[in-house]
């Protein structure tokens, strides 16, 4: 038996842990672009902010798209509810609320991540320290994930936690693609200029897939392959298909355990079926941007339905 | 005023209960002990054993300092204490049942009627209500002080929602982690089974109508409450749900919690929410922490609320001074554990005495708690005494006075070695169809040299409390 409020807490705890890490990844990709390409750096930082969904809030506070401003806003600004610091704080508050549902190891890893990041992000980050800070964020969230997978019982508590992780991750991957979809379109980038190569690498980097891409596809970056990798690859842990495989699986466990199916089951299965049947050619033919916009909308609806069907409020 | 030290009294040297510990201590390298002290703090911070301090944004989570020298009580001393506590707890429950029914003790003139009738802690809503299994106060923390080898006094009966038991458990856990060898050398009675005892105790007082195993839940005001850690800890250790008011509603005459599969009935609610917030339909209408209609369910006998609403009338400071009479009235015997002599300022003779001796006494507000709003005469300036005397004369019934006792001390480890500090003791008592007292409790210690205030909100710390299996 699980309280609806506890399920809600677990779901958001994991969404925010995922988000804390994704912010670091996005800044990492932006930093790489800015370092390798001195021109148009501000454009790159702008798209990083768009991917993070934080562009509007950023422009209310800053004028210049610089590494210092963007990384400050996305990593340590507590007035930005999606910054790594805000996200880890929200994750910990949720963890505190659902503490009785967590193993001691899981709780302690979240609490320690919060303590160490709070210390590290207390002062503005010196640009020279940025790589160290980004590594530390990824390491802390990896430790949380490790304790979580290593110690949690695979029951409904695990299921609701995973739903949070994969809804957030799918949203994140889809947004990264949508912000950059134009550089993947054949009409513009068929030629494969150096510029495009950087752009493509940046996309892969922001989902930590620039190395694994080469294990799966050719050494050369091809836009269709990149899109295929991030959307349809079943083995790539941040692809949309991968996320939906697990969303459907955990929803099925819940449905079987409780002996009841809800609207969220149908929604998740529909999206999963669509991803399974699709080919990357079909997606490009029908319009990559339209595909991603629809996906993001359906994914958000799935989150709402889960909250409603399982009485989060 | 020389205080009695429980380890090293000046007159007789090392006391027996501490002999094995003292032997061990002398073998330890001081540097290692200092290291262990830091380890302890790390353990507490890592596990998030903190209490919230209101109004301080940055430092909103504080640790209660922990001292690594245990407070040790012999088996014999403990047996005496438990007899006294049991008697007192029986009397408290009998008093509550009487006060909310026939009020024999008022008719007999042993406790003044207006002291109850005009008391905010007295809930008229509870008149005629008999809780399941007839138990009113299920979980009690009796604060006890010691002033000499054989003199123990009750300072306060916490009959509402006593806190701190998680520290008793975590202090022991920490000590066992830091010094496992000590527990092999010295037989210390275990306290670890408190959560199981609590769960059994709560299950035993379920409503009669409960079918099968009762569903138990802990009701917390939420994660911003200063004792939230303890609420979560106890729910976790008992294996029951930790609920908030927003999770609960009355469904078909029962209190039910919103789960991922719909509403599920609750039979026993261990609430850590104050009376006035329990039911907005009956008490404070602005309360968002309680459950609208829970009092109707309670009156219908369909839920056990632990502790029962209205138990505060039994631990009120004005009532406290009548405890010797109360114990005798209901148990037919003199109280084994005495009260600290108390002057009720509402009585003209007492008021006169208190005003004349204000610089020797501790004067407390009748309804105050946490060590606030009190005057410690010997430590106060002349001006403070004069100001307090004015307040006292203006509203005498709001105050009681007690002599400043030389509370016993127990050494703590400081940079300069062992140093005595004043302590008190809160053992935890569970009442169901029987009375159970876990051998141990929470020892609070005033960390400032000479200070008598042990409250954690004012610089107090804690110690592991050992009851020897001897």
Average per-residue pLDDT for chain A: 92
Tokens of B309: 């609403």
Q: Tell me the chain A residues in contact with residue B241 when contact means C-beta distances shorter than 8 Å.
A: 1, 3, 100
Residue with tokens 């991030």: A230
CB–CB of A3 and B260 under 8 A?
yes
CB–CB of B261 and A1 under 8 A?
yes
How does pLDDT run across A129-151, given as a tens digit for each residue? Answer: 999 999 999 999 999 999 999 99
H or E stretch including B166? helix B165-178
Q: Quote the DSSP letter at residue A101.
A: G
Q: What angle do CA B259, B260, B261 make, to 5 degrees?
A: 85
Per-residue confidence band for A37, with pLDDT thresholds at 50, 70 and 90: low
Give CA–CA dist A198/A183, Å, rounded. 10
Q: How far is CA B408 from CA B66, B109, B146, B150, B444, in A?
A: 18, 36, 5, 11, 12
CB–CB of B246 and A7 under 8 A?
no
Burial of B290 (0-12, 13-18, 19+ CB in 10 A): buried
Picking from B236, B259, B262, the nearest residue to A100 by CB comes out as B236
Query: Is B446 within 8 Å of B422 (Cβ atoms)?
Result: yes
- CA A162 from chain centre, in angstroms, equals 13
Q: Can you give the pLDDT at residue B56?
A: 39
Neighbour count for residue A260 (Cβ, 10 Å): 12
Q: Is A153 on the interface with B (CB under 8 A)?
A: no
Query: Is B203 within 8 Å of B435 (Cβ atoms)?
Result: no
CB–CB of B260 and A112 under 8 A?
no
Q: Quote the DSSP letter at residue B132.
A: G
Q: What angle do CA A150, A154, A157 make, to 5 degrees?
A: 105
Give CA–CA dist A301/A203, Å, rounded. 25
Number of helices (H) and strands (E), helices first, in chain B? Answer: 16, 23
Tokens of B327: 């114990």
The stretch A14-38 carries a mean pLDDT of 88
Tokens of B3: 């205080």
Identify the residue with better confidence: B103 or A181.
Answer: B103
Picking from A3, A7, A156, the nearest residue to B241 by CB comes out as A3
Picking from B222, B228, B260, the nearest residue to A2 by CB comes out as B260
Nearest CA in chain A to B245: A5
Q: Tell me the chain A residues in contact with residue B217 when contact means C-beta distances shorter than 8 Å.
A: none
- Helix spans in chain A (H): 4-36, 41-51, 55-61, 67-71, 84-97, 104-120, 130-151, 156-179, 181-184, 186-189, 194-206, 212-216, 223-231, 240-258, 263-277, 280-286, 288-309
Give CA–CA dist B89/B95, Å, rounded. 10
Identify the residue with better confidence: A249 or B61.
Answer: A249
H or E stretch including B116? helix B113-117
Q: Tell me the chain A residues in contact with residue B235 when contact means C-beta distances shorter than 8 Å.
A: 100
Assign 3-class secondary structure to B336-401.
CCEECCCEECCCHHHHHHHHHCHHHEEEEECCCCCCCCCEEHHHCCHHHHHHHHHHHHHCHHHEEE
Tokens of A183: 């550089």
The model's pTM:
0.87
Res. A68: pLDDT tops 50: yes
Question: A129-143: buried (b, 16+ CB within 10 Å) or exposed (e) per residue?
Answer: ebeebbebbbebbeb
Question: A220-257: buried (b, 16+ CB within 10 Å) or exposed (e) per residue?
Answer: ebbbebbbbbbbbbeebebbbbbbbbbbbebbebbbee
Give CA–CA dist A165/B206, Å, rounded. 40
The predicted complex's ipTM stands at 0.84
B109: left (phi over 0), alpha (psi -120 to 50) or beta: left
Quick check: helix, strand or coil at residue B31?
helix
Q: Can you give the pLDDT at residue B406?
A: 85
The residues, ordered by sequence, that sit 6+ positions from A107 with a Cβ below 8 Å of its Cβ are A95, A99, B47, B48
Q: Is A127 on the interface with B (CB under 8 A)?
A: no
Res. A200: pLDDT tops 90: no
Q: What angle do CA B122, B215, B264 make, to 5 degrees?
A: 100
CB pairs under 8 A between A and B: 59
Neighbour count for residue A93 (Cβ, 10 Å): 17
Give CA–CA dist A259/A158, Å, rounded. 18
Res. A35: pLDDT tops 70: yes
CB–CB of B243 and A108 under 8 A?
no
Interface of A with B in 250-289 (CB under 8 A): 254, 258, 260
Query: Is B3 within 8 Å of B409 (Cβ atoms)?
Result: yes
**Residue-wise pLDDT tens for chain B (470 aa)?**
578 999 998 877 899 999 999 999 999 998 999 898 888 888 777 766 665 544 334 445 667 889 999 999 999 999 999 999 999 999 999 999 999 999 999 999 999 998 898 888 999 999 999 999 999 999 999 999 999 999 999 999 999 999 999 999 999 999 999 999 999 999 999 999 999 999 999 999 999 999 999 999 999 999 888 888 899 999 999 999 999 999 999 999 999 999 999 999 999 999 999 999 999 998 988 888 999 999 999 999 999 999 999 999 999 888 999 999 999 999 999 999 999 989 989 889 999 999 999 998 989 888 765 566 788 888 888 998 999 999 899 989 888 899 988 889 999 998 888 999 999 999 999 999 999 999 999 999 998 888 877 877 777 899 999 999 98
Tokens of A210: 């620039």
């Amino acid at each position: 038996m699980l309280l609806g409020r506890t399920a809600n807490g677990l779901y958001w705890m994991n969404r925010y842990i995922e988000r804390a890490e994704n912010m670091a990844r996005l800044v990492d990709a932006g930093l790489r672009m800015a370092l390798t390409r001195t021109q148009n750096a501000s454009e790159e930082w702008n798209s990083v902010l768009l991917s993070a969904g934080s562009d509007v809030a950023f422009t209310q506070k800053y004028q210049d798209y610089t590494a210092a401003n963007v990384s400050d806003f996305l990593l340590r600004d507590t007035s930005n509810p999606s910054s790594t610091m805000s996200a880890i704080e929200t994750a910990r508050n949720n963890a505190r609320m659902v503490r009785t549902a967590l193993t001691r190891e899981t709780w302690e890893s979240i609490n320690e991540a919060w303590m160490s990041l709070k210390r590290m992000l207390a002062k503005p980050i010196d640009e020279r320290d940025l790589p160290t800070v980004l590594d530390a964020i990824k390491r802390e969230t990896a430790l949380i994930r490790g304790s979580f997978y290593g110690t949690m019982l695979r029951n409904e508590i695990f299921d609701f936690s995973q739903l949070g992780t994969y809804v957030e991750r799918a949203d994140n991957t889809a947004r990264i693609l949508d912000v950059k979809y134009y550089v993947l379109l054949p009409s513009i980038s068929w030629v494969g200029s150096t510029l495009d190569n950087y752009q493509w690498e940046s996309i892969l980097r922001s989902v930590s897939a620039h190395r694994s891409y080469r294990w799966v596809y050719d050494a050369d970056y091809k836009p269709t392959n990149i899109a295929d990798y991030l959307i349809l690859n079943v083995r790539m842990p941040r692809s949309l298909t991968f996320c939906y495989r697990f969303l459907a699986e955990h929803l099925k466990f819940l449905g079987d355990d409780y002996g009841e199916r809800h609207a969220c089951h149908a929604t998740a299965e529909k999206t999963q079926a669509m991803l399974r049947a699709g080919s990357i050619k079909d997606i490009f033919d029908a319009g990559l941007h339209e595909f991603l916009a629809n996906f993001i909308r359906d994914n958000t609806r799935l989150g709402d339905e889960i909250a409603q069907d399982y009485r989060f409020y | 005023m020389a205080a009695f030290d429980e380890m090293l009294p000046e007159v007789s040297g090392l006391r027996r209960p501490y002999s094995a510990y003292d032997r061990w201590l002398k073998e330890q390298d001081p540097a290692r002990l200092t290291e262990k002290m830091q380890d302890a703090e790390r353990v507490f911070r890592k596990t998030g054993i903190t209490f919230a301090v209101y109004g301080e944004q940055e430092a909103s989570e504080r640790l209660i300092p922990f001292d690594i020298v245990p407070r040790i009580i012999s088996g014999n001393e403990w047996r005496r204490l438990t007899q006294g506590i049991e008697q007192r707890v029986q009397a408290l429950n009998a008093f509550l049942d009487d006060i909310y029914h026939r009020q024999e003790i008022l008719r007999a003139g042993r406790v003044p009627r207006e002291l109850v009738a005009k008391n905010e802690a007295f809930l008229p809503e509870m008149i005629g209500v008999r809780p399941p299994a007839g138990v009113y106060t299920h979980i009690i923390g009796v604060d006890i002080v010691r002033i000499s080898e054989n003199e123990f006094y009750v300072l306060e009966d916490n009959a509402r929602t006593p806190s701190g038991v998680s520290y008793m458990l975590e202090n022991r856990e920490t000590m066992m982690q830091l010094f496992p060898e000590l527990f092999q050398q010295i037989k210390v009675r275990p306290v670890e089974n408190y959560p199981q005892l609590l769960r059994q105790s709560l299950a035993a007082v379920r409503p009669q109508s409960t079918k099968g195993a009762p569903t138990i839940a802990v009701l917390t005001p939420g994660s911003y409450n200063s004792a939230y850690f303890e609420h979560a800890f106890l729910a976790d250790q008992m294996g029951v749900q930790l609920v908030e008011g927003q999770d609960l509603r009355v469904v078909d005459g029962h209190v039910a919690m919103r789960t991922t599969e719909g509403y599920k009935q609750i039979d026993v609610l261990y609430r850590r929410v104050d009376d006035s917030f329990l039911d907005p339909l009956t008490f404070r209408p602005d309360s968002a922490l309680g459950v609208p209609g829970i009092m109707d369910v309670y009156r219908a006998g369909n839920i056990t609320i632990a502790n029962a609403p209205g138990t505060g009338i039994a631990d009120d400071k004005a009532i406290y001074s009548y405890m010797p009479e109360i114990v005798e009235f209901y148990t037919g015997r003199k109280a084994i554990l005495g009260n600290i002599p108390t002057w009720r300022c509402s009585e003209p003779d007492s008021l006169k005495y208190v005003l004349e001796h204000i610089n020797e006494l501790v004067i407390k507000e009748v309804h105050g708690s946490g060590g606030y709003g009190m005057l410690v005469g010997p430590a106060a300036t002349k001006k403070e005494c004069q100001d307090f005397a004015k307040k006292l004369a203006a509203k005498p019934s709001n105050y009681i006075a007690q002599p400043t006792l030389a509370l016993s001390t127990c050494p703590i480890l400081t940079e300069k070695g062992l140093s005595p500090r004043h302590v008190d003791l809160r053992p935890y008592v569970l009442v169901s169809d029987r009375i159970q007292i876990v051998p141990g409790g929470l020892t609070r210690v005033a960390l400032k040299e000479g200070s008598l205030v042990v409250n954690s909100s004012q610089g107090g710390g804690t110690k592991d409390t050992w009851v020897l299996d001897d």
